[in-house]
């Protein structure tokens, strides 16, 4: 892939990540918030931010929802990504737990707000590191 293509593809991943953050915020708005949906969108946003970084480096991100695996791939280019390990560990379960009946826990408004904050933290970490 050319550097221009990498930049364009990374920009598209960022756009989609930002949409997930917005969807998460909307899920918490109003009188009947949906914290589980907000948690899911937080995980999705974080995943897309990490994939944006990988694409900007000229790689094809693996098809996974495991943020810890994606972080390790990112750390191959920039070891500082490992500083986000606890964030990834917190957000990764939301990809499955919020979507499938696997003992689906109920999430609180505060937990969802924290999840969105953590996803935004990953976005803030990624953006200045894009090529």
Tell me: the pLDDT tens digits for 8-27? 999 999 999 999 999 999 99
* 76 pLDDT higher than 70: yes
For the packed helices 35-56 and 67-75, what is the interaxial angle rounded to 10 degrees? 20
| CATH topology classification for 3-129 | 1.20.120
pLDDT tens digit sequence for 30-58:
999 999 999 999 999 999 999 999 999 99
Please give the Cα distance from 106 to 53 (Å, whole number): 32
Task: Determine what percent of the chain is predicted with pLDDT higher than 90.
Answer: 85
Give the pair of three-digit tokens for residue 77.
Answer: 């280019």
Per the listing, tokens 């750390």 go with 75
Taking each continuous run of H as one helix and of E as one strand, the counts in the chain are 6, 0
Give 94-110 pLDDT, tens digit per residue: 998 777 776 667 899 99
């Amino acid at each position: 892939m050319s550097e221009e293509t990498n930049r364009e593809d990374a920009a598209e991943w960022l756009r989609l990540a930002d949409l997930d953050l917005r969807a998460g915020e909307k899920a918490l708005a109003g009188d009947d918030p949906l914290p589980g949906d907000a948690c899911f969108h937080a995980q999705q946003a974080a995943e897309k931010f990490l994939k944006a970084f990988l694409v900007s480096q000229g790689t094809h991100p693996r098809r996974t929802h495991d943020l810890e695996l994606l972080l390790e791939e990112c750390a191959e280019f920039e070891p500082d990504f490992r500083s986000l390990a606890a964030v990834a560990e917190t957000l990764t379960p939301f990809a499955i737990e919020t979507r499938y009946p696997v003992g689906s826990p109920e999430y609180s408004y505060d937990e969802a707000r924290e999840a969105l904050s953590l996803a935004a933290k990953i976005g803030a970490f990624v953006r200045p590191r894009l090529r």
